Amino acid sequence: MAFDKSLLSSSIKTEAKKLGFLFCGVSKAEFLEKEAPLLEKWLNDNLNGQMNYMANHFDKRLDPRLLLDNAKSVISVGLNYYTPQKQSDPESPKISTYAYGKDYHDVIKDKLKLLIEFIKSQIGEVNARAFVDSAPVMDKVWAEKAGLGWIGKNTNLINKKKGSFFFLAELILDLELDYDIIPTKDHCGTCTRCIDACPTEAIIAPYLLDAKKCISYLTIELKEEIPTEFKGKMDNWMFGCDICQDVCPWNKFSVLHNENSFNPPQELIALKAKDWQEITEDVFKKVFKDSAVKRTKFNGLKRNIEFLK
């Protein structure tokens, strides 16, 4: 079926906004030539720690055409999760803002399915795959290519008008669309606030993260005991960490999300420091029933809480 590329690209972006996405951009599905040597060096230097999956499917990670036959386009979307709301007890072990509400994987996948259905309603059958942080796709690179922002010194994607508190996801499809060919310029300038603020010195150089030192890695990805060298350096984070985003000047432009699924349950916000110390598996299952925190499991969260003592 013939279709107007420009019109379809525009209508996809409009529909994405209707579905609640903060951004939507399109780039050409092609081999990531610039990123290939950078990724290879990062892995060879063992900066991925125990995240062995980062080394798996190396070729697919660099070429979306290996993830979908005849792939032509990568649609990148961003979904806001920012909230100024904090846990009520300032002494409580802290959870990263992104994990306050329902697991973002489920929320975004549902929206992307609706976006695929919309595209089909416009042009008929299309071969498309949705990816939400669970496959060998370089989310930030594709988002940068699509003009959604730039990859900052803290290695997060930053948008000049909205900051960085948003999730990234993609649709890869076998349709040729109008591509957003002018990526956003880097606006980090001489600022080093994220580097200076990281208590574990995980940002070992501008734009370079040693995951093995990152609090998010230590509290979520690391399956064994947290190395004693980080004792007293975790700034009371028990799941994830927001420090390098909290200090980023661009996040003064962050706006409250409008996704009800991301609102934290009251029992999570209300838990006191003492409650966390005494948390049972039953309470964990109740509070984090639909949460991304399930990923660390009860024993993992208990390990993190014990380490913060």
How far apart CA 79 and CA 250 sit, in angstroms, is: 17
Enter the pTM of the model.
Answer: 0.95
How far apart CA 257 and CA 272 sit, in angstroms, is: 25
- Mean pLDDT over all residues of the chain? 96
Average pLDDT over residues 190-203: 98
Q: Could you tell me the domains of the chain?
A: 5-86+95-173 (3.40.109), 193-255+263-308 (no CATH)
Phi and psi based region of residue 209 (left: phi greater than 0; alpha: psi -120 to 50; beta: remaining): beta
176's tokens: 């040729």
What is the CB neighbour count within 10 angstroms for residue 246? Answer: 13
* Predicted local distance difference test score (pLDDT) of residue 2: 62
30's tokens: 């092609």
Catalytic: 275?
Answer: no
How far apart CA 17 and CA 14 sit, in angstroms, is: 5
E strands of the chain, at which residues?
A: 23-28, 73-80, 94-95, 128-131, 150-151, 157-158, 166-173, 203-205, 208-209, 237-239
How far apart CA 207 and CA 150 sit, in angstroms, is: 11
Task: Give the helix ranges, DSSP H, for 146-265.
Answer: 193-197, 215-216, 243-246
At residue 273, what is the residue type? A
The model's pLDDT over 165-187, given as tens digits with 9 standing for 90+, comes to 999 999 999 999 999 988 899 99
Average pLDDT over residues 100-117: 97
Percent of the chain with pLDDT over 90: 96
Confidence at 1, pLDDT banded by 50, 70, 90: low
Task: Give the helix ranges, DSSP H, for 88-200.
Answer: 104-123, 139-145, 193-197
* Predicted local distance difference test score (pLDDT) of residue 140: 97
Catalytic one of 133, 174, 186, 235: 133
* Predicted local distance difference test score (pLDDT) of residue 224: 96
The model's pLDDT over 282-302, given as tens digits with 9 standing for 90+, comes to 999 999 999 999 999 999 999
Percent of the chain with pLDDT over 70: 99
Strands 94-95 and 237-239: parallel
